[in-house]
Amino acid sequence: MEKPTRTGLVLKGLALVIVVGLVAYPLLGVIGTSFASQSDIIRSNGLVLWPDHPNLDAYRTAFTGGRVTRALFVSIGVTTLGTACSLLATIGMAYGLSRRGIVGGRFILMTALFTMLFNAGVIPNFLLVKELGLYNTFAALVLPTMVSAFNLVVMRAFFMNLPEELYDAAKVDGAGDFRTLIQVVLPLSKAVVAVVGLFYAVAYWNAYFNALLYLGDNDKWPLPMVLRTFILQGQALDSGAVGEAVAPQQAVQMAVLVIAVVPILLVYPFLQRYFTKGVLTGAVKG
Amino acid sequence: MTVPAPPTVPAPPSAVPRTTFWQRLRRDKVMLLLCLPGFLYFVVFHYVPLLGYMVAFQDYQPYLGYLHSAWTGLANFSAAFADPDFWSATGNTLTIALVQLILFFPVPIGLALLLNSIVSDKLRRFVQSVVYLPHFIGWVIIVSIFQQILGGAGVVPDLLESLGLPRYDMMTDPDAFPLLLALQVMWKDAGWGTIIILAALLSVDRGLYEAAAMDGAGRTRRFWHVTLPGLSPVLVLLLILNLGNILTVGFEQILLQRDAVGPGSGEVLDTYVYFHGIKDNQWGTAAAVGLVKAVIGTVLVIGANKFAHRLGHEGVYRGADR
């Protein structure tokens, strides 16, 4: 390859800075604003990158009244339990379908894959959840979206790519199918379990539509629903907070956003290196 | 512990005529049991609801249930087709989808080319981790952030004012709604979308570049004659699959912002179904619209898949044919 031209380099550098900036600026601005004081916010037109007098008032206000705290616990609970259920079902099904010649395996696989092509839609799903007695229960946040055909394909492809000799060796050593899964396959599949687990966890963590549809009871709302009413619809967070040393409204809003993003930022660096592989096994033959 | 499979069973079972169905069932019972929870999930939450589309042919009353509500034939469908809101929602859906396709589609391609051209491994990985990140941020958060920047009291209107221009709030402008949605999708998924394209770029034969350079092809010519032809199978596929999904535009994203711009330009087919059915209790009409949308959508997706394969690009998308 020949050396790139100087203008080419400069343009490329500029483009990179702009791209990174467009992503980073809003996120850093949200974090900065959550620590800002009223004067900071007025001076910098809304988003504060570097507060002059950083303080935790916004977080204190966000956690008084219990609404955010409760929603946070709901979100953590639903995400943890939901991800566990989703992973168990997906691993079982992917493993069960990973070997050729299983009786009815093709039928079961097609049943799952076919759901990638159609979507039953809001009304029938809503009626089903009501008929099953799941309305207003936390199970309604998990069960209707428990397994994704896409994640199933990713995991099955990974299991199928493990060397055949491993299965043979396990069989020779007298391990049954279940034992092979637990002691041979899963220890080798940490990467795919991590990626698929992350995809599920993120979906549960961010989901508000199921809550909007199936939870009549505000007390059961997960965090995104509280964000929606508090930030986008401008409802007060909690009447109990009036009269205390209240942080600026904007800072409190940003603090709640930060609370909702932090868990993702915490796991992201650990899982990031597996993404490409996971996505490509699912979508592209590689 | 479970009973291990009898060692006498040979490995390729398809070639074994002597094992009966029941023997195979016995042999595979652990594998089938492991499949069971997932299988039940798909049946209960994806296939059983299809029966719920009965409602589209009924005057459904929740207290009467499916069995006792009156059948009305196709009345719900004619009611829906006579409703100007339905047509407006259809129009909005198509407009939003097309604007998104035109504006969003090229962005991951450009970004992937940019990423691909970074020689330093460390720098490239850093940029990648930054641009992938928004994919994991939920719509509620993204819309909130946009509100903070483009909304009435946000950064951009303030900036415009300080430049002596009129304040402009894009979040509440019905005419700019499709553009706004496209911008948000770009922010969220442009980086993520590069993954597939980067993979396609990696598979372009290095030798072709060298040969082209030997023949005196400059940077631009190599792009047009090597890179683009190398990418085109994937691009064509992505385009076709996108067209297959044209009736499905971001439901969650739009639901969050529909009220700010009003149903005139913010109502799409999905939100129409939601508001008419669940908010206004017009179950029959909403289900009818949902059914029409689902049927057309499924036909489009299957057609797109078929078409993609017809073009001879083998197996890039596995959804339908495996």
Q: Would you list the DSSP string of B60-80? A: --TTTHHHHSEE-TTHHHHHH
Higher-confidence residue of A268 and A238: namely A268
With CB atoms and an 8 Å threshold, state whether B45 touches A24: no
What percentage of chain B exceeds 90 in pLDDT?
49
Assigned token pair, B10: 């040979």
Q: Which of A103, A122, A171 sits opposite B277 (nearest CB)?
A: A122
Alpha carbon of B215: minimum distance to chain A alpha carbons (Å): 14
Q: Count CB-CB contacts under 10 A for residue A56.
A: 13
Closest among A152, A138, A239, A148 to A192, alpha carbons compared: A152
The single-letter code of the amino acid at A75 is S
Q: Is A97 on the interface with B (CB under 8 A)?
A: yes
Q: How far is CA B250 from CA B266, B276, B282, in A?
A: 12, 18, 23
Cβ-Cβ contacts under 8 Å, B32 against chain A: 96, 102-104
Q: Which of A117, A209, A212 sits opposite B301 (nearest CB)?
A: A117
Assigned token pair, B207: 């030798």
Residue of A nearest to B212 (CA): A1
Angle at B14 (CA atoms; ends B302, A104), nearest 5 degrees? 50
Q: What is the per-residue pLDDT for B322?
A: 33
Q: Mean pLDDT lowest for which of A132-141, A233-242, A250-259, B95-104?
A: A233-242
Query: Is pLDDT at B214 greater than 90 in this prediction?
Result: no
Q: Which of A15, A27, A276 sits opposite B195 (nearest CB)?
A: A276
Q: What is the DSSP letter of B137?
A: S
Q: Is A117 on the interface with B (CB under 8 A)?
A: yes
Q: Is A231 on the interface with B (CB under 8 A)?
A: yes
Q: For residue B7, name the pLDDT band (cuts at 50, 70, 90).
A: low
User: For A243, left (φ over 0), alpha (ψ -120 to 50), or beta?
Assistant: left
Assigned token pair, B154: 């946000």
CB B27 within 8 A of CB B19: yes
Report the residue count for chain B: 322
CA-based Rg of chain B, rounded to a whole angstrom?
26
Cβ-Cβ contacts under 8 Å, A184 against chain B: none
Q: Span A54-66, mean pLDDT?
A: 88
Sequence-distant (6+) residues with CB within 8 A of A158 are A94, A189, A191, A192, A281
Residue of A127, A172, A182, A257 to mutate when probing chain B, most B C-beta within 10 A: A127
Q: Which of B49, B159, B199 sits opposite A286 (nearest CB)?
A: B199
Alpha-carbon B241 to chain mean position: 9
Cβ-Cβ contacts under 8 Å, B141 against chain A: 206, 224, 227, 257, 260-261
With CB atoms and an 8 Å threshold, state whether B55 touches A121: no
Q: Is B35 on the interface with A (CB under 8 A)?
A: yes
Measured CA to CA, the distance from residue A58 to residue A45 in angstroms comes to: 18
Assigned token pair, A133: 């007695």
Q: Is B233 on the interface with A (CB under 8 A)?
A: no
Q: Which of B111, B137, B209 sits opposite A264 (nearest CB)?
A: B137
For B:70-99, CB contacts with A below 8 A are none
Q: For residue A280, name the pLDDT band (cuts at 50, 70, 90).
A: low
Q: For residue B25, name the pLDDT band (cuts at 50, 70, 90).
A: confident
Measured CA to CA, the distance from residue B297 to residue B312 in angstroms comes to: 23
Cβ-Cβ contacts under 8 Å, B39 against chain A: 93, 108, 111-112
Assigned token pair, B205: 């034969």
Q: How far is CA A124 from CA A238, B146, B287, B294, in A?
A: 35, 33, 7, 12
Measured CA to CA, the distance from residue A75 to residue A221 in angstroms comes to: 8
CB A280 within 8 A of CB A86: no
Q: Which of A97, A228, A268 sits opposite B136 (nearest CB)?
A: A268
What percentage of chain A exceeds 70 in pLDDT?
92
A8 half-sphere exposure, CB direction, 13 A CA radius: 9
Q: How far is CA B78 from CA A17, B59, B88, in A?
A: 54, 13, 16
Alpha carbon of B320: minimum distance to chain A alpha carbons (Å): 7
User: By three-state DSSP, how is residue B148 classified?
Assistant: helix
Q: Is B25 on the interface with A (CB under 8 A)?
A: yes
Q: Span B253-275, mean pLDDT?
A: 93
What percentage of chain A exceeds 90 in pLDDT?
51
Cβ-Cβ contacts under 8 Å, B315 against chain A: 285
Q: For residue B319, name the pLDDT band (cuts at 50, 70, 90).
A: very low
Measured CA to CA, the distance from residue B30 to residue B34 in angstroms comes to: 6
Query: Is pLDDT at A243 greater than 60 in this prediction?
Result: no
Measured CA to CA, the distance from residue B89 to residue A285 in angstroms comes to: 37
Measured CA to CA, the distance from residue A189 to residue B244 in angstroms comes to: 33
Q: Is A92 on the interface with B (CB under 8 A)?
A: yes
Q: Is A285 on the interface with B (CB under 8 A)?
A: yes
Q: What is the per-residue pLDDT for A248?
A: 83
Residue of A68, A100, A123, A135 to mutate when probing chain B, most B C-beta within 10 A: A123
Q: What is the per-residue pLDDT for B12?
A: 55
CB A203 within 8 A of CB A145: yes
Q: What is the ipTM for the molecules in this complex?
A: 0.90
Closest among B183, B48, B239, B58 to A131, alpha carbons compared: B48
Sequence-distant (6+) residues with CB within 8 A of A164 are none
Q: Count CB-CB contacts under 10 A for residue A43.
A: 11
Question: How buried is A118 (Cβ within 10 angstroms: 0-12 exposed, 13-18 middle, 19+ buried)?
Answer: middle
Q: For residue B97, name the pLDDT band (cuts at 50, 70, 90).
A: very high
Measured CA to CA, the distance from residue A215 to residue A210 in angstroms comes to: 8
pLDDT in tens, B115-143: 998 888 899 989 999 999 999 999 999 99
DSSP string, A23-62: HHHHHHHHHHHHT--HHHHHHTTT--SS-SS--SHHHHHH
CA quadruple B312, B236, A192, B119: dihedral positive or negative? positive
